[in-house]
Structure 1
Amino acid sequence: GLLNLLVKPIVKILSLPINILTLGIFNIIINAGMLWIVDSIIKGLEIEGFWGYVWSSIVISIISIVVSKIIFFREKKD
C-alpha cells in the first residue's frame, strides 16, 4: 500500500507520454513493476517470471475495477 501511495504516482506522471502512445496499456507494465518490487520486499509472495507479473497485474486490475464498480453502484443506489 505504501509503495502505491508514494512511488506509483511519480512513475505514472513520468511515464505519461508513453502511456498516451500505448492507450494506457503501459499501465500494466507499471503495475507489473510495482509487483516485482513488492515481491522482492515481501518474502511470502512468490511470482515467477515477467509474464507472471504481467498476468498478476491484469488480474489485480480487473478485480479493482469490479470492486470499484460495485462500490460506486451501492453509493449511487443510496
Structure 2
Amino acid sequence: MVEFLVVWLVVAIGLIVVSKLGLGIEVDDFGSALFGAGALGIVNALIRPVLAFFSFPIVLLTLGLFALVINGVCLMIAAALVPGFKVKGFFGAVIGSIALTIFNLIVFKLAGVT
C-alpha cells in the first residue's frame, strides 16, 4: 500500500516537473497533478491494454514506435478527465508522455523501486 502511494506521488511530481518544461502539458496545481496521476493510472490500467491489443499489428510494423502514440493517447484521455490538467495537441501529448516516462525511469531507478 505504501509503495502504491509513493508511485502515485512520484507520478504527480513528474507531471508538475514536465509541465514546467513547456512540452505541451499544463498542470494548474498539486491537487490537479494528484488527480491527473490517479486518472493516468486508471487509464493505463483499463484502456491502454485494449488499445495495445487492437493496435498490435501497427506496433509490430513500426517496431514498437507506435507504443509512443498509445502513451500519448492515454495521456490525452487522462487530461480530458481531470480539470486543471491539460495537454496541448497530439504531439504535445506524445512528447509529454516521453518526458514523463524518462522522469519516472530516472526517479524509480534512483529510488530502487521496480
TM class by smaller structure: 0.7 to 0.9
Structure 2 counterpart of 1:34, from 57, 74, 77: 74
Aligned to 1:50: 90
One-letter amino acid of the counterpart of residue 48, structure 2: K
Deviations 1:31-69 (A, max 9, x none): 111111111110111221122111101112222333454
Distance 1:50 1:56 in 2: 10
Are 2:58 and 1:18 aligned?
yes
Unaligned stretches of 5+ in structure 2?
1-40
When normalised by structure 2's length, the TM-score is 0.56
Aligned to 1:3: 43
Are 2:93 and 1:59 aligned?
no
Structure with bigger RCO (C-alpha 8 Å, 6+ apart): 2
Determine which structure has the larger strand proportion and give its number: 2
The DSSP-based 3-state class of the residue aligned with 2:85 is coil
Deviations 1:7-52 (A, max 9, x none): 1111111111110111111011101111111111101112211221
Aligned to 2:16: none
When Rg is computed on C-alpha atoms for both structures, the one with the higher figure is 1
Q: Name the count of aligned residue pairs.
A: 73
Task: Rate the CA distance shift 1:51–1:10 in 2: closer, same or farther, 3 A.
Answer: same
When normalised by structure 1's length, the TM-score is 0.78
Distance 1:11 1:38 in 2: 14
- % identical aligned pairs: 36
